[in-house]
Structure 1
């Protein structure tokens, strides 16, 4: 059975149940429709021997849940960061903030590609060490080593760039 046949049959037989499930997860009908649609695409686009309605629905529901949780985490993270982003640290001189950003970017350039990937996945993507290890195809111990080395290197680079010319903090 082709994926489009399975999608049509699944929507015909279980579409309203999937939409209700999506609505219960997110509380918004439009977002629920998007969850169903995206989950169908993600599940049925995967190469697999053959799909039928009974075997596809649990996968679709799982993808809907994961997608909802991911969106919720992103929104919560964004909401927690928004006040920091919207409130300037100084009144009028915005050059300090841009300098700090440039310092972090240049400090990241000092890392090896693996260290940088670990830092971005762990601290920017907010993934647990096990997930970082899974994405990079290495052990959790390797990720911890990369993170430890990267944090030490970043700490040295960022401290040095924040010192004034005579080697003392401002």
Structure 2
């Protein structure tokens, strides 16, 4: 059975599994934002960073990439993703319908925020997000690197995300 994964943040530039095909895709009803406090990868419990998550938003749509998992590696990929994405259970693993460029619909493993989790922080002002991202550091490095990599890859894919672009400019200015 073909397995797809929806990438909207770090999976764009660091999937960490064998990808057989990469296709631009849209996920309706969800919005990408820095709405999750990171206490492992991009921050600590003492000084949390911020990472992207999908927040339910009726009428919204998130542009990203559908990653088709290499045949025969589905079980290993799912185990890897669960270890990576479910480290603190702030993300929920869902099978959601996405639309590939060209109109074909597929179901993809998608990680969305649990709005009832203590790490959820939706609605933070952009300036507050920038200050947190500019200073936080976690097990996978500076929080700002996560932002810069994601913004750069979205731009390279032709995906407009004005909030991420503003944050990248602001964090770069703060970090000087």
- Structures share fold, TM-score greater than 0.5: no
Structure ranking higher on relative contact order (CA contacts 8 Å, 6+ apart): 2
With normalisation by structure 1, the TM-score equals 0.25
Q: Which has the higher helix share?
A: 1
Higher Cα Rg, which structure:
1
